[in-house]
Structure formats: C-alpha cells, structure tokens
Structure 1
Amino acid sequence: MNPTKITPETWRTFGSAVLTFVFFWDLIRRYCPPELRLYFERSGRRISGFFNPTIQISIHEYIGSHMKSHEAYGMVEAYLSISSSKDAKKLKAEMAKENEAELVLSMDENEKTTDEFNGAQVVWISGKVPSPPQTTSFPYYREPEKRYYKLKFHRRYKKLITESYLEHVMKTGKDRIQARSRQRRLYTNGHSKSYWSHIAFEHPATFETLAMEQEKKEEIIEDLLSFTKSRDFYKRIGKAWKRGYLLYGPPGTGKSTMIAAMANFLDYDVYDFELTSVKNNTELRKLLAETTSRSIIVIEDIDCSLDLTGERKKKMEKSGETDTEITKKPSSRRDREAESGSQVTLSGLLNFIDGLWSSCARERLIVFTTNHVEKLDPALTRRGRMDKHIEFSYCKFEGFKVLAKNYLNLEEHPVFGSIQELMEKVKITPADVAEILMPKSAKEGPEECLQSLIHALEVQAKETNNVAAAAARENHEELVIELNRMDSQGSRN
C-alpha cells in the first residue's frame, strides 16, 4: 500500500481492527482462566519484544534492603563524567579534588547521553526513584532518593555489550576514580539520622604538617602502607580486610588531625559515626552495611559516646542494684540522653568491629579516639579489635619545630634552645602551642610569636613549681603530724 494514498476507508478499517483487538483482549482478561491469561500475556510480551529490539540494563546506586552502596554505580558515574559532556544538555559540576580551579562535569538526573563502542551505539539514561512518604511511626526519618543509570542498546549487540563494553566501562571508571578526579567525602549520621549524608572532605592535614616525632610518624605510615598491600594476606589467614586504631591522649594533642592525615595519605573517604544518634544495634548494622570499601570509620571520644565502658557493671557491684534499676535512675544529662535515645550495646559495637558484619566491605580502617583510655572496657581495646594503639602525648620539641615551620616558616632560630629547655619541664598541648604561634595581626612577626611562647612556658613552669612546692609542704606537714602521733603513742606505752 502506498502511504501517500491512504483513504478514509483505510483509516476506518484500521480503527475497526484496533477496537476489535481491544474488545477481545478485555474478554480474555475478564473471563479466561489464569493459566490461559498468563499464556496470552507472555505471548504479548514476545510479540512486543519482536517489534522492540532494545535491551536495557539498570545499575542502581544502592543494592540490597540495607542500601549498601553499589561500587559499579560509582564507576559508571566516573566513566560518564568523561563522555557525557559530549551531547548531554543537563550536567552537574563538582570541584576537582586536586585542582580547586577545575570543575568535573557529569550527567545530571533525568538526562541521557550516547556512547559508541566498536561500532555499537548505546544510550545511557540517568534517573532516580523518589523517596517514599514519611510514616507516622518514624516522622523524622526520610529515606534518601535512590539514583540509577540505565543502559539501552540493540539486542544484536548483546554479546559485545555484556562481555566487552561493560568491562571497558568498569575499568575506565575505576581508573578515573583512582586518578583522584573527585573530592573525597566526609559522611555523617548525626542529627538523629539513620542514613548517611555527606559533604566534600577538604581537611588539609598531612603527615608532614602533623606535630609529632618523625620516628613515630614513619612507624604509622609504614603500618598504613603495609595494610593497603595485605589483601592476599588477610584472605589467607581468614580475616576481614580491616584494621583497628585506638588513638588516646589528652585533649588538643592531635588525634582528629591524625585521622585527617590518614585519610589524605590513603585517599580514603571518612565516615564520622555519631553513636548517640543510632537508636539500636539493628540500625547500627544498617549504617555499617552502607559504608564503602577504602574508607575510615571514626568514632571520636568513644568513652563519652555511650555507656560502653564497664562503669555500669561497677555501679551495680557497689550498690547491689540491678541493671534495670540503674537504668531508671540516670545520674547525668548524658545518661538521660542515652536512656531516651540510643540503645546500642557493647556486644553490638563489638560485632560492628570484628563480628560477621565487619566484613561487609573491604580495606577499611576503624578508628576510635578517647581522652581516657583507662575508662574503656578491655573487650573493646584488646588486640584484634584495636590492632594498633597510638598514644598522643604533650608537645615535644620535635613537634614544636614542625609547628614553627607550619606557622612561622622557621626551621632554626636562636631562641629554639631556650624553648627546648622549657618544654622539657612543662606539659603543653600541640593545640596550645599552635594557638600561641599563630600571628594575631599583620604587625606580629615570628620574633613576637616565639617570645609569646617563651612567656607562656615560663608562666606554666612557675605554676608547676608552685604546685610541686605546695604538694611537698603538704606531704611534709602530714609526715610531721604522723611522727608526732607515733612519738605520743610511744610515750604512753
């Protein structure tokens, strides 16, 4: 039939055929047995597939009911950041990690782009599944939107796409990620969230700028490098590829800065775990399952996060009360918040560290920090859970030299000798030294900053001597009283 000579009679015949088909199809749906109806539906799909030769592959951002991040999604996203700028009309821009003046472009949601591989034309489509509505049971929880990519191609290219093209996409995307084209991410579950949110991780700390003895820094660097190269070793001994670090010491000694330096050195993302925002062990496992490989999971001030230190057991032994009775009588604001909020237990946290759930991702560091290591339960800090313990003490002269280089661009100065002598007599944190060395105005130069530090050290040394002298006097007075008591008792005898 010549399409240029379609008559009204032809249209009437076509419309009648369509109406007849719809009529019989409705009869089949209403009155046919389920088995026969299923047969017709399958036949309909086969007929539809015959006329529509397109094959579709979906790659979602999360997999599983626990919303574990899908590594393939990140690789596809990185791959499309290279090719999508060719013909996509809607792009999103992110800052390049190594060069802040450079933008990395990638395909925005609900956009599509084409690609070619060995003569095969493919189409990539980005989209997202809207978040389900909030429920009355959890009014403050809203599940994040789930993004995905769809790959469409002609069925004649199925073997080429599934066997070669997808492998090419994964390899190119992985290389793109390893080339550090994107910012690392800092994740948090704070503000009563049961899912992760993130921002760009831009902390500038490095091991070179860390105020710590060089020998100690080299020891930590060697340990980190050994861990990243030990995949086969961990597999051979049957352990999850993870390592635990316990950072302990007084406040202001550089524990958080060390974590940032480790992340920058290894090029890992950071998950800042806020335990008090986690309702129970089930939610803890859910959050853990969402973390990715090549990451650092951090719980800062673990002794202050929850009642996980064994103090509850000691209270029960002293008072004879039961665990339920103590729970009913919170002794502080923090205890009341813990009672009304998180119900994470020590056993749940231990399973998070080295139980079955600890193997849900590979190549991860688990880092705990504390100001009072003596308060932690031994089950939490034993080797195998916290494999390496790193003590952060008060600032030594070698650490001061690093800070002088960072803040004043000085490697040597005539007053360094005096500062070294004073630092051997007093305890001062790297944070305090850094604050004193930081110029307060444009007129304040290195000389004034160093003199301010010397003055602060001298004042603290004097206070330390006064405290020591007062303690000595008190001890002497107690000794004299005790001797007099013994003489008096001897005279009566």
Structure 2
Amino acid sequence: MMSTDLSYWWSLVGVVAFFHGMLPREAKEAVSRWLQVLRSYLDPYIHFEIPEFENSSSNELYKSVQLHINATDMCKSANRVVLTRVRNSTLTSSSLAAGQSLVDKFEGKTLRWKHNVQKVQGDSIRGRGSQEVSERSYTLKIHKRDRDCIIPRYIDYVNARAILYKHQNREMQLYTNGKTSSIFSGGRHMWQSVPFKHPSTFNTLAMEPANIARIKGDLKSFVEGKDFFERVGRAWKRGYLLYGPPGTGKSSMIAAMANFLKYDVYDLELTQVFSNTELRQLLIQTTNRSIIVIEDIDCSINLSGQRSPKSSSKRGKDSSDKDALTAEELNMIKEDETNRITLSGLLNFTDGLWSCCGDERILVFTTNHIEKLDDALLRPGRMDMHIEMSYCTFPAFKILVRNYLMIETHPLFPTVESLLVEGKHKVTPAQISEILILDKDNPDMVMDKLVAFLQQEPEENELPENAEAANELESKSQAKAKAPPSLII
C-alpha cells in the first residue's frame, strides 16, 4: 500500500511538472511553492545547516564538527581530503574537501555529513568589497524518525570529542611563579609559561614495569572519574607523593605523567610565595587539566607549623633604617613577619575549600626525605598515592639499556642482575645513565665499564654525628607506615 501511495504521488508530481511550463508566472510561483512543500513532506530526511559564520560571528559548532571529523578519522572514507599543518607543528590535520560527504554512526543510527563551499562576493558578507570569498558550512542529514532520539545528544557528543581532540593535540605549557607580593601583583597574572617539551614518557622511565602499569591505571581512572567524584562529593583532584634519594627519576616521573595525560605543568616554588593569601591567588589562576608540582617539599617551608621567623628577622635587620622606607614598604615588611605560609595554609591548598577551585587537577609533591614531612600532609585525601622512587633494579636497568644502547640482551646481563640484586652497591638510574651515555655506540665497552663500576667497593658508611641523626635513620625505615600499604608503590 505504501508503495502504491508513493507511486500515485510521484505520478501526480510528474503531471504537475508537465503542465508547469504552460502556466502564467503567478501560477508558476504558486505551483513551485506547493511542490517544495510536497517535496519536504515526502523527503524522509531532515537537514541541519551549520555555517562557519553566523551574523558575522564565528560559529564554534562548525569548528567542533571539523575537529570531530578529524578525531574519528572519518576522512579516510572520503575521495578528496584537505591536509593542513600549523607552523612549528608536526601534527597534520585533515578535513573534508568541498562537496565531499561521509557517514557517521551514533547509537546505532546513521548520520551523513557534507561539506559545502560556495563562492560569493565579499560585499555580501563582512564588508570585504568585491573580493570573492568562500562561504563554508556543514550539512547534517539524519532520518526524521531519529531526530528526537539523538538530537541534541549527538551534538553534545561531537562537542566532547572535539574538546578532547583539541586538548590532546595542543602545545603543552610549563608554568612557574615569580617572586611577587599582594602589594605589587596588582591583579596581574602571577604565572609565566614556556612550551613544555620534555621527552620523558612511561616507556622511557626506569622503573619496575608493574609499578608503571599501576600508576598509569590510577591516572586513567582519575581522568575518567568525573561522575564518581561528583557522586561522592569530592573535589576532582588527585595527590601523589614521590619520594626517594636524588637521581631516582622523580622529575622524569612528573614529565611522564604530564605527557601521558597531556596536562600543563605548574611548578610552584613556595620560597617565592609571600603568604597564604598569595598561595590561594596562585591556585585560582591555574587551569583545569593541569599538574601542580611542589618539588623538595621538605626544603620549601617549615611543615611542622608556622614558618621560621629567621628570614623575616633578617629582612627587618636589613631594613632597619625605617626613616628611608615608605609606608607601603613598612606594611609589606609587617605582613612578611606575620603572614608567611603555614602548614595549615598548605593543607587548605591540598584538600581544603580552596582545593576545589577547578576540576581535573593533580597535585605532586616530591621529597628526598619523607621522614621529615608532617603526618597531616601524608594522609589519604591529600597525598592519595605514595610512590617510592628507589635505587635501580634489574628490570629498570633493562629499560635504560634498551633506551640508550638499543639492545634487549647481552652476555653480561646475568652479572649485572646478580650485582643489583645483592644490593652491595646501590646505584640510582641517573648513575647508570651517565655510564651508558659515554659510549652508547659501543655496547660491549659500556657493559664492561658498568660491571666494573658495580663491582667497586661501596664507600664506608659514616656513623651518625649525633643522636638526632641516629633517630633520623631509624625513622626512615618507618616512613612507609605513614600511608596505607595499598597506596604505597
């Protein structure tokens, strides 16, 4: 019956079209309008136009469609594709050429995109005189029965994919804070940035593969946990404490985390921060999807309470000639003496009210002496995962050799393994790297030098100078107990 009805209607349209040329102009216009309405009624599809510009303003949805098409590699099915590359970038982007179409799938529904490019005179848009310009738009074609069930969810999906693609392919930034104060900042940005192009990744990191897999899994779970954090009422952030002797790769770990997540890095230097208030101002100016780093946290401030007054006393002594100072400078000295960063201010920064000023942020603290940190700073919710950056193990050594010498095995590997397992001579990945880089084009010579280095007698351990040093050595062995065992790597 449906087929018979359609045949009838199309026959009627054919008859009308035949007699169309015999009608007067007014009748032709009326028939044309009627045919257009009829065609719209019979067409089972609906078309959405997405222009590049709307009322002289850029249409963000047009850009999102371009990024979505590029992100999903749908251009592979097109016959003609436009390739572009931004200056100083290695990323090649692809987009549909004029008149090209492609098919997308969403929730089992079929959708079609078409890229339209029309040449028009510039005086008709944005006042460009008679210059010929191109008007671009995308047409989304879907079945009428699917309109209500996938719109606007599909548009939200396109926007989300575009945002993710743009984030993953943008140039990352490394930020640092300078020495400022609330008096002189004047509302200016307190961060300065440079492009972040650190080569460290989890593939090059000298660490136990099982621990690397666990860290990557935790990071991935964090990124995908927006709904979880909202449901449990927690700020969308995660804290990591990296601890271990110098040269074990703590900075490389931070760079690997940033490259894995494509996050900007904020290197927060606490010794350049004037007060708790300024610390909050710095936090507010950080962006979402970023890693906030405080390296050598035990050396930055006195974490057992109020900051030591030595620095302010010295400053007061240097500024003893009060008659030569302005009232503004005197107020600054007074604030310096009474309002330095405190442990409570830092804790509020990690998990207090001010820690929720933004989403998807990671806090990373590093230290060479975990035993010096206050217990309040180490508890879960502030530092959620404690990662020990230990001396070089044999699995970590194999990663270094693979990266530096490009070999997977060597006759001296068993000897190196026995020396590292015995622990007679503890070495850091940095020490191993310095040997491997000497003659990287001669693996046999490098391996001989490495074995000779590992076979050297370790230096005689010095006795503790006093009871305090002895207690420090004893407390070091108990440092791991400060965090739940399940959170320690």
In the other structure, the counterpart of 1:305 is: 300
CA offsets per residue over residues 191-243 of structure 1, 9 Å max, x none? 54861121111111111111001111111111111111111111111110001
SS of 1:456 mapped into structure 2? helix
In the other structure, the counterpart of 1:196 is: 191
In the other structure, the counterpart of 1:182 is: 170
CA RMSD of aligned residues (A): 4.1
Q: Does 1:396 align with 2:381?
A: no
Distance 1:427 1:232, change over 3 A: same
Q: Does 1:328 align with 2:304?
A: no
TM-score by length of 1: 0.56
Q: Does 1:272 align with 2:272?
A: no
SS of 1:95 mapped into structure 2? coil
Q: Does 1:438 align with 2:426?
A: no
CA offsets per residue over residues 338-389 of structure 1, 9 Å max, x none? 9789922211111111111111111111000000111111111111110111
Structure 1 residues 89-488: aligned runs within 5 Å: 95-96=88-89, 99=90, 174=163, 176-178=165-167, 180-190=168-178, 192=180, 195-310=190-305, 328=313, 343-423=340-420, 424=422, 425-440=424-439, 445-459=442-456, 462-464=457-459, 467=460
Deviation at 1:451, TM superposition (A): 1.2
CA offsets per residue over residues 85-137 of structure 1, 9 Å max, x none? xxxxxxx96533xx27x699xxxxxxxxxxx9999x9869xxxxxxxxxxxxx
In the alignment, the residues of structure 1 paired with residue 376 and residue 118 of structure 2 have an alpha-carbon distance, to the nearest angstrom, of: 57
Q: Structure 1 stretches of 5 or more lacking a match? A: 1-53, 60-71, 83-91, 105-115, 125-162, 313-322, 331-337, 472-493
SS of 2:390 mapped into structure 1? coil
In the alignment, the residues of structure 1 paired with residue 231 and residue 126 of structure 2 have an alpha-carbon distance, to the nearest angstrom, of: 42
In the alignment, the residues of structure 2 paired with residue 427 and residue 387 of structure 1 have an alpha-carbon distance, to the nearest angstrom, of: 28
Letter aligned with residue 384 of structure 1 = G
Deviation at 1:431, TM superposition (A): 0.5
In the alignment, the residues of structure 1 paired with residue 401 and residue 281 of structure 2 have an alpha-carbon distance, to the nearest angstrom, of: 45
Distance 1:343 1:412, change over 3 A: same
In the alignment, the residues of structure 1 paired with residue 125 and residue 353 of structure 2 have an alpha-carbon distance, to the nearest angstrom, of: 41
Contact 1:380 1:386 in 2 (8 A): yes
Instruction: Tell me the percent identity.
Output: 48
Contact 1:245 1:390 in 2 (8 A): yes
In the alignment, the residues of structure 2 paired with residue 384 and residue 304 of structure 1 have an alpha-carbon distance, to the nearest angstrom, of: 22
Q: Structure 2 stretches of 5 or more lacking a match? A: 1-53, 69-84, 95-115, 128-151, 316-334, 464-489
Distance 1:268 1:324, change over 3 A: closer
In the alignment, the residues of structure 1 paired with residue 245 and residue 239 of structure 2 have an alpha-carbon distance, to the nearest angstrom, of: 20
In the alignment, the residues of structure 2 paired with residue 78 and residue 274 of structure 1 have an alpha-carbon distance, to the nearest angstrom, of: 37
Distance 1:168 1:366, change over 3 A: closer
CA offsets per residue over residues 390-421 of structure 1, 9 Å max, x none? 11111011110000000001111000111112
Letter aligned with residue 185 of structure 1 = Q
Deviation at 1:278, TM superposition (A): 1.5
In the alignment, the residues of structure 1 paired with residue 386 and residue 125 of structure 2 have an alpha-carbon distance, to the nearest angstrom, of: 52
SS of 1:240 mapped into structure 2? coil
Deviation at 1:300, TM superposition (A): 0.7
Distance 1:326 1:181, change over 3 A: closer
Contact 1:275 1:306 in 2 (8 A): yes
Contact 1:278 1:342 in 2 (8 A): no
Letter aligned with residue 188 of structure 1 = T
